[in-house]
Structure 1
Amino acid sequence: MTDIDATSPAVPKTVGVIGGGRMGAGIAQVFAAAGAVVCLAERDPAAAVASRDRVAMGLLRAAEKGKLTESADAVLDRLVLVDDAAALPVDTDLVIEAVPEDAALKIQVLAAAERAVGDQAVLASNTSSLSIAGIAEGLRRPERFLGLHFFNPVPVSRLVEIVIGPATGDDTASAARSWVAGLEKTEVVVRDSPGFATSRLGVLLGLEAIRMLEEGVADAASLDRAMELGYRHPMGPLRSTDLVGLDVRLAIAEHLHRELGERFAPPALLRDKVARGELGRKTGQGFFTWEAS
């Protein structure tokens, strides 16, 4: 097995990203901008084109703000679309899955990637709440697996939560910390636990804000403003829920409810909005109204 070089902050030479939604495209963008060749796996041809368009638009915005050291086109040239995790190159150094929060699906795509790439590769899940140990059970090399939880929007978010599973090797964890530094982001390292640190705290605050909205304590804008101005949160819990997606937040809350008890029980208002298709920014309506982007 090839040793992982974690001696200096640098990104892997080749990165595979499975899933080209908003999160996957953002992850692909930041690694490509940092110099990696990125293979983005997306089975649906239309979704693959949309993923490339997301990356291209994100790079143009970054270039306009002076955040790139080369042209957006030069960075985009390092993005390669493939139609399946099994098509990732054997010399891939890091694979990150960014598919929906379904443990069986995550195991399926990561196992396919593990068969395609060499033993040197590190596998990672972008899950925000699912058990790293549980996903690792479906892999042949659990010591090469951990959680790399990025935050939306990935290009401007400074944080990456590194989740260490019970089988994660020390060299794997060290490499992950080095790669996060190479992206000029900051890591927090946490033990595998339901909701980790960020989702557990963020979801609890978001659920309480939804309950307060249900009870008529204040309107959504006022509740958010209270946290932004009173506690210096850059974004209030309801707008943050819209950004994450109400369906995603509901799924995480249901998982934490099962694992940790009644304090994570989803409010009826959240269930009702998801049932009506009011999922936040991606549908144009959540706790706030959003313009198309």
Structure 2
Amino acid sequence: MTESGTRTAFPAALPQVCGVVGGGRMGAGIAHALLLAGSEAVVLERDTDAAAAAAGRVERAMRASADRGKIDDPAPLLKRLRTATRYEDLSGCGLVVEAVPEDLDLKLTTLRAVEDAVAAGTVIASNTSSISLDTLAQALAHPERVLGLHFFNPVPASRLVEVVLAPATGDALRERAVAWVEQLGKTAVVVHDAPGFASSRLGVALGLEAIRMVESGVASAEDVDAAMSLGYGHPTGPLKLTDIVGLDVRLGIARYLERELGPRFAPPALLVEKVEQGHLGRKSGRGFYEWPGKA
């Protein structure tokens, strides 16, 4: 509800102009999805160099889509991409998705800056994979317009978006968010706010146990992954997936879940050791696997 007591009306269709704060691999993927759905995308980064790098990521993703036959010509879509370095440049957005690293203080600072810059009817979404949506929403003046839109990496190939509801999120926004996800060509899974939501909580639990198995010599990373892929139909084994997500990201989520849910989410020593050594997975060129050319 607004301060006047009237209900906020959220647009039924995906807003014509959407913003993404953070143009890393995840943020660029979200911008790619928004462009494919017909929206303009404004990607906000910390400076001009980072903004240019973000634009390059979106362009490469779009050209890869063309190579796979998903689109004909990326040029018209890329004309709807803009980059920015000031929060004020998000003022015309109907939806802004925060996609900065998984750090509570950083996300709170980012979301407050977004709220100060956008119109009263703008929906503010966080791509957080584990942090409490209620904690994020209650830090803003209008928590009723905040929800989670948890995309999965790599966004262009993933068919899932987790729609996470904070206690203040109303039914109208829930319905709109599910419709927006469908417009993006993906499937919405609606979950209520809880540590790790549904996907991260289950995915991290599996990943941590797989790491413990490697750590204790039960099996190699390759064989653990093969067991889950061939035996249970997982498209990617839990250790290769950890490399794709980033070992540092998995470690951060595990530590958060350990604080919230107890010692069953305590990170294995092997995970901590690899992160300390800079073996972060695909983005560093080495994790549980070698990734030639990715460092």
| Matching residue of 1:88 | 90
| Matching residue of 1:3 | 9
**Where do 1:1-293 residues align within 5 Å?**
3-6=9-12, 10-68=13-71, 70-89=72-91, 91-293=92-294
CA distance in 2, matches of 1:5, 1:96: 16
Tell me the TM-score normalised to structure 2 length: 0.95
What SS does the aligned partner of 1:148 have? strand
What SS does the aligned partner of 1:160 have? strand
Alignment identity in percent?
Answer: 56
Displacement of 1:270 in angstroms is 0.2
State the Cα deviation string for residues 185-225 of structure 1 (Å, max 9, x = none): 00100010000000000000000000000011111000000
Displacement of 1:5 in angstroms is 3.1
By relative contact order (CA 8 Å, sep 6+), the higher-ranking structure is: 1
Aligned residues, how many? 288
Tell me the TM-score normalised to structure 1 length: 0.96
CA distance in 1, matches of 2:136, 2:143: 9
Displacement of 1:141 in angstroms is 1.0
Displacement of 1:86 in angstroms is 3.4
Please tell me the residue identity of whatever aligns with 2:35: A
CA distance in 2, matches of 1:85, 1:137: 20
**1:16–1:38 contact (8 Å) kept in structure 2:** yes
**1:209–1:238 contact (8 Å) kept in structure 2:** yes
Displacement of 1:146 in angstroms is 0.4
Q: Which runs of 4+ in 1 moved over 6 A?
A: none
The unaligned stretches of length 5 or more in structure 1 are none
CA distance in 2, matches of 1:278, 1:45: 28
Displacement of 1:2 in angstroms is 5.4
Displacement of 1:85 in angstroms is 2.6
Please tell me the residue identity of whatever aligns with 1:81: T
CA distance in 2, matches of 1:178, 1:153: 21
CA distance in 2, matches of 1:270, 1:166: 34
The unaligned stretches of length 5 or more in structure 2 are 1-6
State the Cα deviation string for residues 91-120 of structure 1 (Å, max 9, x = none): 311000000111111111111111111111
Please tell me the residue identity of whatever aligns with 2:77: V
What SS does the aligned partner of 2:156 have? coil
